[in-house]
Amino acid sequence: MLLTNFQIFFVKVHPSTMFGDFKILKKCKTTNARVSQFTLNNNTLDLPIFMPVGTYGAIKGVPTEDLKEQMILSNTYHLRDLNKNVKDFMNWKGSMLTDSGGFQIGSLPNVEVKEEGVLFDGKLFTPEESMDIQMQLGADIIMQLDEVVNPNDSLDKIEVASKRSIRWLDRCIQQVYGEKSDEVKRTKKEFLPEIKLENKKQILFPIVTGGLDEKLRQYSIDEIIKRKPKGLAIGGLSGGEAKSEFARTVLYCTTNLPDNIPRYVMGVGYPEDIVICSALGTDMSDCVYPTRTARFGRIFTDSGDIYISNKHRFDLNRNEECDCSTCSQYSLAYLSMIKGTSNFCRLTTTHNMHYMRNLTKRIREAILEDRYPEFIKSYMKNRYKVVPEWIIEVLKKVNVMIN
């Protein structure tokens, strides 16, 4: 089912589609970009998509009834004591993804990673516990617990983490989809768990790891594909590596991943990065950046970000590029005057979320209309006075020449 009205955010599941179905509607003839649909419990997602992050089950400054997103992300670590379905708790009718909690725990001081799990504050957080919490939270997509390391760490450390993450993936699969069969236990055959959706309402996404090393990335990809995932994430990036290295690694992954499942690149939220990652072949992304930076006064526009400050206190102009509820009603002077208030947080967050939602809509439309390369060129030249060299070089790899 192809949407012609992109203002429809939630799509009834077509009778011919089933939970976990993934369908590519259109591939870009020049880049690796594609438009697709992914069927979850009550909704069919139109991809590419950006997911804003509601860490505690809420987007700061925006009530649930004002959310127009197809899907949002919440955090397992921060919701570990909720003990109920988070979608029901926040009265959210759309789709939801929960992360594993590993990134947040890995960011804490005095953390020790063991084969059993992650030890922090004298407590052991295991792959099984991450799955149990996520199953109770009830998100449509749940994430495996992986060992989080910085992509700039030593190759030995990244290799240990990547191989451990596969072992943890098997434990996650067993916790969600069942224990080893009696035959496997009796004969002691090698057990290779598979992700199966029978009688399940949640899809477990494995995470491709391996830092910036292509051999380790390939190892992770090969092992994950053996387990027949219904979707997966590209993780272990956005940790301070050079943008060119980030893009090279994403492109390597998408080039070597199967076409028939959605690809989620984790922690990507700069507008230009969404455009680039879509061209590289990813379908989903998330980040706190659009909402967090909005609260500090940075709002997105195609012609560059605007940082609301005292210099706008006499600027009665509105952002004419945008038709969101904020820009259609309030001037930059008004936003400058109320900066630091809860109203400011709500208005700027509403704008940035609308911008990201509209950006992915325009990406989908451009791909469907066979003009995505032209869209990329126009977008980058509008956003930058001088397009960064790394963007020019990355886009060359998918046959888009900026200059």
Catalytically annotated residues: 99, 286
Can you list the alpha helix ranges (DSSP code H) found in 66-213? 86-89, 102-106, 127-137, 155-177, 182-187
Instruction: Find the Cα–Cα–Cα–Cα dihedral 244, 248, 250, 256, rounded to 10°.
Output: 180
Strands (E), 235-339: 263-265, 284-287, 298-299, 306-307
Contact status, residue 285 vs residue 249, Cβ threshold 8 Å: no
**Phi and psi for 321 in degrees, rounded to 5?**
-70, -20
C-alpha pair distances (Å), 240 with each of 36, 60, 124, 141, 236: 30, 26, 28, 27, 11
Residue 117: CB atoms within 10 A of its CB come to 22
Query: Would you say 200 and 176 are in contact if contact means Cβ atoms under 8 Å apart?
Result: yes
CB 305 within 8 Å of CB 294: no
Q: How is residue 60 written in tokens?
A: 């700061």
Provide φ and ψ at 204, rounded to 5°.
-90, 125
